[in-house]
Amino acid sequence: MTTRGLVIGRFQPFHAGHAHLVKEIVNDVDELVFGIGSAGDSHTVRNPFTAGERIMMATKSIEAMDIETTVYTVPIEDLNRNSVWVSHVESMSPRFDIAYSNNPLVVRLFTESGVEVRQTPMYNRDVLKGSEIRERMVEGEAWEPHVPDAVVEVIEEIDGIQRVQAVS
Q: By CB under 6 A, name the one of 16, 55, 71, 106 that touches ligand NMN.
A: 106
Q: Strand (E) positions, 27-118?
A: 31-36, 70-75, 98-100, 116-118
3-state helix, strand, coil in the chain (%, to 5): 45, 15, 40
Among 82, 120, 135, 136, binds ligand NMN (CB under 6 A): 82
Q: Specify the residue, 30 or 88, whose C-beta has the smaller distance to ligand NMN.
A: 88
| Dihedral angle over CA of 115, 78, 14, 146, nearest 10 | -100
103 touching ligand NMN, by CB under 6 A: yes
Compute the C-alpha angle 96/99/105, nearest 5°.
135
Q: What sign results for the dihedral spanned by CA atoms 10, 12, 17, 20? A: positive
Smallest separation, CB 51 to ligand NMN (Å)? 10
Minimum distance from CB of 80 to ligand NMN (Å)?
7
Least distance between ligand NMN and beta carbon 88 (Å): 7
Q: Which residue has the CB atom at the shortest distance from ligand NMN? A: 37
Q: Where on the chain is the footprint of ligand NMN (CB under 6 A)? A: 8-10, 37-38, 78-79, 82, 85, 103, 105-106, 109
